[in-house]
Structure 1
Amino acid sequence: MDELWYEDFRVGETYEFDPVRVDEDDIVEFATRYDPLSFHTDAGAASESRYGGLIASGIQTMALSQSQVVDGLYGRSHIIGSLGFESVRFPRPVRPGDRLTTHIEVLDRRVSESDPSRGIVTTERTVVDGADAVVFEAVNNVLFERRSTNSPRD
């Protein structure tokens, strides 16, 4: 596939990435290291929690989504890095056995005012489980290299 530059992203364009399965062992291992709350690390305690069972850390959900996006899109682009998230939501928990699919929609793009050799692409990231229920949503501003500073300033 061709490498992507700022100019290659179009408002309204969407991307979908291959699903990833979340297993109980993955949830416990990740949470033990990075988010050691009992409803992430202990199935017995989690069954007594408000969630009624083990759930993945939101940070793990973000990380799994990021891996999908890097493998399927950013890894073949002239990305400089993320400028940050405007919003992040976790409307439903991720549970063992869930298959997560990440979708990206390009919401906006603009040439950087401080450095016209760069462009900012605003995306909405939505992650759904196997039942198409949204488990993660975020709006992200991502900085890319421009193919040419002679390109139209859009």
Structure 2
Amino acid sequence: MRFSEYVIGQRYETTSLALSKSDIIEFATNYDPQYMHLDEEKAKQGRFGSLIASGMQTMNISFKLWIEVGVYGEHVVAGTGMNNIQFLKPVFPDDELHVIAEVIGLTPRRKGNGIVTVLLSTFNQKNQKVFQAELSALIDN
């Protein structure tokens, strides 16, 4: 979409993505090698009683699902920021995540371009919100 086509309050819902134990371990091995993501036995004795996904993995999945909706299309120039990042609940193996994105900000720039800010809210299969962040991107007109 072009910048001029966005409207505050527009909402988009993504498809779902299931996260396996091996997905969690593979991501953590490469990017967040902490015991709660890698060591099943130690994680069982921890606060959550199980392996959990890295918050960074949850954030990346949320971004992936939002981008796959295709709203930005060819008009996206670049991401400009991510604010108010919140990891609200742990994500466990076999959780299925989906995102609701709502346009919450429009900031016009020169030449008709502008910054579009969306609130990404990620939910598990129980409809519990597990992640939330404001994502901004420069969009052409």
Task: List aligned pairs for 1:1-154, cutoff 5 A.
Answer: 4-74=1-71, 76-112=73-109, 115-146=110-141
Larger radius of gyration: 1
Deviation at 1:76, TM superposition (A): 2.0
Q: Distance in 1 between matches of 2:2 and 2:113?
A: 9
- Alpha-carbon distance in 2 for matches of 1:11, 1:19: 24
Structure 1 residue runs without a partner (length 5+): 147-154
Q: Look up the SS of the partner of 2:29 in the other structure.
A: helix
Question: Percent identical across equivalent pairs?
Answer: 31
* Structure 2 residues without counterparts, runs of 5 or longer: none
Aligned residues: 141
> Given the two structures, how large is their TM-score scaled by the length of structure 1?
0.87
1:90 Cα deviation after fit = 0.5
**Misfit runs of 4+, over 4 Å:** none
Give the helix-richer structure, 1 or 2: 2
Q: Distance in 2 between matches of 1:102 and 1:81?
A: 21
Q: Could you tell me how far apart the structure 2 residues matched to 1:97 and 1:33 are?
A: 20
CA RMSD in angstroms comes to: 1.2
Distance 2:100 2:135 in 1: 13
The TM-score, its normalising length taken from structure 2, stands at: 0.95
